[in-house]
Every structure is written in structure tokens, then in C-alpha cells.
Amino acid sequence: MLNIDELKFDEKGLIPAVVVDAKTKKVLTLAYMNRESLQISLEEKRTCFWSRSRQELWRKGETSGNVQCIVSITADCDKDALTVEVDKDGPACHLGEDSCFHNPIFLKEDYNEFSMDSLMELIEGRKTEKKEGSYTTYLFDKGMDKILKKIGEESTEVIIAAKSDDKKETVYEIADLAYHIMVLMVEVGISLDDIRGELASRHVIDHKVKQEKMTK
């Protein structure tokens, strides 16, 4: 672990801090820290910056309530910049946007931005605001039995594809299964964070090794 004394602050005593959502890896904002604000951040485990415009310490969420709880802080190879991964409570931007970076300048024409979180938001939207002709809306209209039936069918398709040693088909079927499971999650009120939290709480490999030793 690096010591603060090993970091390279600029001539104004500042170091840039790129704040990233620990779950989605989306860049939330670029802020600056001085030695004191970094020390406060480490002690309180919440982001504290140095406001260059107000020339004072700035604890994120102090007035807005949009607190950022720190997961990790990492310095770059030159030790003159930081990435700060956070669990955020509310928008990062003072304009109410999820991220401060929301003004596109260039986007590759065939680029298709995708994340599990954005897919989950789309599925949630199909449940709350029904769209005619949408397959997802159709599943919600049919209800739990239909959703579970589809999960059963897709699980079987995954098994068949994997058994056939067909990687491309297996990927395709796993994607189908994942989508239908996410529909089920929305139907019963389970979030991606619920699943992330459950997986993070497990030590699958260690647990398995421990079980194997106990059965011998």
C-alpha cells in the first residue's frame, strides 16, 4: 500500500481524482484532492475534495445528500493521479445527472453501448410503462408462470448447446437465459445489486475446498 507521502501533488498541492462507480465502472466526475482532503477521505471512507472555485474542503453529499462511500483509491504509475471507486447514493453531478460526463462530442457510428445495468433499466421500464409489441411487456402481462416456463426452456437450451461443445450457440443460449432471469428478477423485485452483494459475500472456491476436506 502506498503512503500519502509517496504521492506527487502539483504546485498548488492538488492531485486529480477520477471518481468511478464501483459497480458499473462508469466515470462519475473529475475532482481534486489536497493532502488534507485525501486524509479525510481515508479516515471517513467518504469522498472529500478540495474545491478550486471556493478554495475550501468539500465533502461530497454534505448539502445534497448524494454521498459517495469509498471502495478503493488507486494511484497511477507516476503517482500523480488517483482513481477513486465509490458506492454512490444519488447523482454524482450537481445538475442531477448520474455522471458529470453527459455531453457527447464524438461517438463511433456502429458503437453499441451496453451494460447489464442499462438492460435492467430497460426491462424495468417495460414493466412500469407497457410498450405494445414488446416481448418483455408480453412476458410481464403473461405473469410468473410464463416467465418461469421460459427460464426452464432456456436452461435446457444451454445444457444442449454446452453438451454439443458448441461455444457460439452456448453463448447465445446463456444470453437468452440471462435475459429471462433478469425479467424474473424485475417481476419479484430483485436488483442487480442484490445479486452482486450475494456473490461478493461468498468465497466459492475456499468454501468448496473446505467442504471437500471435510468429506474426506
Give yes or no: residues 200 and 151 share one domain. Answer: yes
- What are the b/e assignments for 161-177, b being 16+ CB within 10 Å? beeeeeeeebeebbebb
CATH number of residue 34's parent domain: 3.10.20.810
Residue pair 4/38 in contact (Cβ under 8 Å)? The answer is: yes
Question: Does the pLDDT of residue 210 top 60, yes or no?
Answer: no
Give yes or no: residues 202 and 122 share one domain. Answer: yes
Q: What is the pLDDT of residue 214?
A: 57
- The model's confidence at residue 164, banded by pLDDT at 50, 70 and 90, is very high
| Residue pointed to by grid coordinates 424474473 | 184
Give yes or no: residues 122 and 202 share one domain. Answer: yes
Q: Rounded to two decimals, what is the model's pTM?
A: 0.66
Name the average pLDDT for the chain.
91
Question: Does the pLDDT of residue 194 top 60, yes or no?
Answer: yes
CATH number of residue 182's parent domain: 1.10.287.1080
Which ranges of 84-166 does DSSP label H, i.e. alpha helix? 116-128, 135-142, 144-163
Residue pair 168/175 in contact (Cβ under 8 Å)? The answer is: no
Q: Please report whether residue 107 resides in a domain.
A: no
Give yes or no: residues 129 and 202 share one domain. Answer: yes
- The model's confidence at residue 88, banded by pLDDT at 50, 70 and 90, is very high
Give yes or no: residues 64 and 128 share one domain. Answer: no
Query: What residues does 162 pair with on adjacent strands?
Result: none
Q: Please report whether residue 96 resides in a domain.
A: no
Give yes or no: residues 15 and 78 share one domain. Answer: yes
Q: Please report whether residue 93 resides in a domain.
A: no
Q: Please report whether residue 74 resides in a domain.
A: yes
Comparing 33 with 193, the larger pLDDT belongs to 33
Q: What is the pLDDT of residue 205?
A: 57
Please state the domain count of the chain. Answer: 2
Give me the percent of the chain exceeding a pLDDT of 90: 72
Residue pair 35/49 in contact (Cβ under 8 Å)? The answer is: no
Cβ-based neighbours of 42, under 8 Å, separated by 6 or more: 4, 70, 73
Give yes or no: residues 193 and 132 share one domain. Answer: yes
Q: Please report whether residue 145 resides in a domain.
A: yes
Q: Please report whether residue 213 resides in a domain.
A: no
Question: Does the pLDDT of residue 204 top 80, yes or no?
Answer: no
**Cα dist from 180 to 42, 44, 133, 188, whole Å:** 41, 40, 17, 13
Mean pLDDT calculated for residue range 6-14? 97
Give yes or no: residues 26 and 78 share one domain. Answer: yes
Q: Please report whether residue 20 resides in a domain.
A: yes
Question: pLDDT tens-digit profile of 109-160?
Answer: 777 777 888 899 999 999 999 888 999 999 999 999 999 999 999 999 999 9
Residue 72 burial (CB count, 10 A): 10
Give yes or no: residues 125 and 191 share one domain. Answer: yes
Residue 195's domain comprises 116-207
Cβ-based neighbours of 80, under 8 Å, separated by 6 or more: 7, 8, 9, 10, 15
Give yes or no: residues 11 and 81 share one domain. Answer: yes
